[in-house]
């Protein structure tokens, strides 16, 4: 499959979901406290607190941002329709079932992902929640007639951090090709160093703030990594390349 590189626009035209608040201070940066939730390790799910309001699960399958045949011949209509209409839809439906009448019911998708990731001790809702977000972001990472160099500040950052646009493309393709099993490849903006327990964590320097190419297994995405803001992704699950 031909690499669909970032559209020829500055970062200001990227999806707004690419620039989410960092999670370096845990749940507080998202506007709620970890004390709000209690988890049942026996059942592996969030439990609704006594007296809390029952909110109906609300997530819906978003329509693609372009017609199903708009990416041909790079992605066929049949592949797109099957990927979005079956797999993406299943993630949404299963997520709504998993969060119904739990503490996650009524939270935003981003909040659900961070809470259910549970610092790596993943709760059942995480995979479906993350896959819903990943696919929403994946469709926004492509456009009809896309490809080629971006422009403006994004191109300047790519050339600064990778040496050239061509070298970025090589690294991005390599990350996707070498992800063992199912997963994703990402272009992300790393705002600062990761916080590490039992270590001195100095304030971010300008050298820490840069674009990076990453890969993640299964449903994991940069929202669960401190200070990483996703800008572009490619799906390397097998179902992304059916037909």
Each residue's pLDDT tens digit, 166-201: 999 999 999 999 988 899 999 999 886 555 454 555
Q: How many CB atoms lie within 10 A of CB 77?
A: 14
Which domains, from first to last, does the chain contain?
Answer: 77-193+205-240 (3.55.40.20)
What angle (nearest 5°) sits at the alpha carbon of residue 89, between those of residues 88 and 93?
125
Tell me which of 20-24, 139-143, 177-181, 233-237 is least confident: 20-24
What angle (nearest 5°) sits at the alpha carbon of residue 214, between those of residues 176 and 34?
130
> Which H or E element spans position 40?
strand 39-40
Q: What percent of the chain has pLDDT over 90?
A: 55
Alpha carbons 9 and 147: distance in angstroms, whole number: 11
Q: pTM for the complete prediction?
A: 0.72
Q: What percent of the chain has pLDDT over 70?
A: 68
Dihedral pair phi/psi, residue 183, rounded to 5°: 165, -160
Alpha carbons 191 and 210: distance in angstroms, whole number: 7
Is residue 9 scored above 50 in pLDDT? no
Each residue's pLDDT tens digit, 35-60: 233 333 333 444 444 444 444 548 99
Question: What is the model's pLDDT at position 70?
Answer: 96
């Amino acid at each position: 499959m031909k690499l669909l590189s970032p559209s020829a626009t500055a970062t200001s035209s990227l999806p707004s979901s690419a620039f989410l608040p960092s999670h370096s201070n845990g749940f507080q940066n998202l506007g709620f406290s970890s004390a709000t939730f209690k988890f049942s390790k026996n059942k592996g799910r969030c439990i609704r607190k006594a007296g809390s309001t029952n909110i109906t699960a609300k997530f819906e399958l978003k329509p693609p941002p372009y017609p199903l045949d708009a990416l041909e011949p790079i992605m066929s209509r049949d592949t797109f329709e099957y990927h979005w209409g079956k797999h993406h839809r299943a993630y949404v439906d299963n997520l709504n079932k998993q969060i119904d009448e739990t503490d996650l019911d009524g939270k935003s998708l981003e909040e659900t992902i961070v809470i259910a990731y549970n610092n790596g001790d993943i709760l059942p809702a995480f995979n479906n929640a993350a896959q819903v977000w990943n696919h929403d972001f994946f469709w926004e990472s492509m456009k009809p007639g896309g490809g080629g160099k971006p422009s403006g500040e994004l191109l300047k950052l790519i050339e600064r951090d990778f040496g050239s646009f061509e070298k970025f493309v090589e690294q991005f393709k390599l990350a996707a090709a070498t992800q063992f099993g199912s997963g994703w490849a990402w272009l992300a903006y790393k705002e600062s160093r990761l916080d590490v327990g039992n270590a001195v964590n100095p304030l971010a320097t300008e050298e820490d703030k840069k674009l990076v190419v990453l890969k993640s297994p299964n449903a994991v995405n940069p929202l669960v990594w401190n200070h990483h803001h996703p800008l572009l992704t490619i799906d390397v699950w097998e179902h992304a390349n059916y037909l």
